[in-house]
Amino acid sequence: MAGNDLDIVGQLEALRRYARVLTRDAEAADDLVQATFVRAQERRATFRDGADVRVWLMAVLHNLFIDNRRSMQAAEARETAWAETQPAFSAPSGEMAARLAQLRAAFLALSADQREALHLIAVEGLTVAETAEVLGVPPGTVMSRVGRARAALRAFEDGQAGAANPFRIVGGRDERQD
């Protein structure tokens, strides 16, 4: 066989069988065989005349499989290391999850101006002056937006007849006389 006329397609079934043994998955095996053909085409200059094409292609396939597995293991290790640097998070459950979803919906129902101002003050902890600078509005406008946002959230809370209120609006006064 001349150096550039490799019969790689004739080795398809043998490569598929070997790829299935390695991957244990038909689709992954087919992907591996396809990648093997691409790699063989790219590196056909490394094939020595007189060598067994089948053995060479299986070595290419094997090396690709090992490379892919190492790459996946490295990615998993990076993701695990990243996850370990993040604070633990556990999703709320039951009644608290439903309550948080309601509060989130009420917050998202606020106008964009009110949401932005309330978030910067209540969540990010910025002062009124800092919030005014971020939003490019006068401090009085910030106080007005935050006041209206708090009033809207209080009205939402008041509309929850009979529901326990485990939340207190940050920076607001609890005006209920229970």
CA distance 130 to 108: 23
CATH 1.10.10.10 assigned to 94-158: yes
Q: What is the pLDDT of residues 148-171, one digit of tens each?
A: 999 988 888 887 533 444 445 555
Residue 176 has pLDDT above 50, yes or no: no
**Helix axis angle, 53-85 to 12-23, nearest 10°:** 30
Query: In this structure, what token pair is assigned to residue 106?
Result: 């009420």
CA distance 24 to 20: 5
Residue tagged 């005349």 (tokens): 49
| Domain extent listing, the chain | 9-85, 94-158
Q: 9-85 has which CATH code?
A: 1.10.1740
Query: 72, 139 in Cβ contact below 8 A?
Result: no
Q: What is the pLDDT of residues 46-90, one digit of tens each?
A: 888 888 899 999 999 999 999 999 999 999 999 888 877 876 666
- Would you mind telling me the total number of residues written for the chain in this entry? 178
**Average pLDDT of the chain?**
83
Residue 178 has pLDDT above 50, yes or no: no
pTM for the whole thing? 0.46
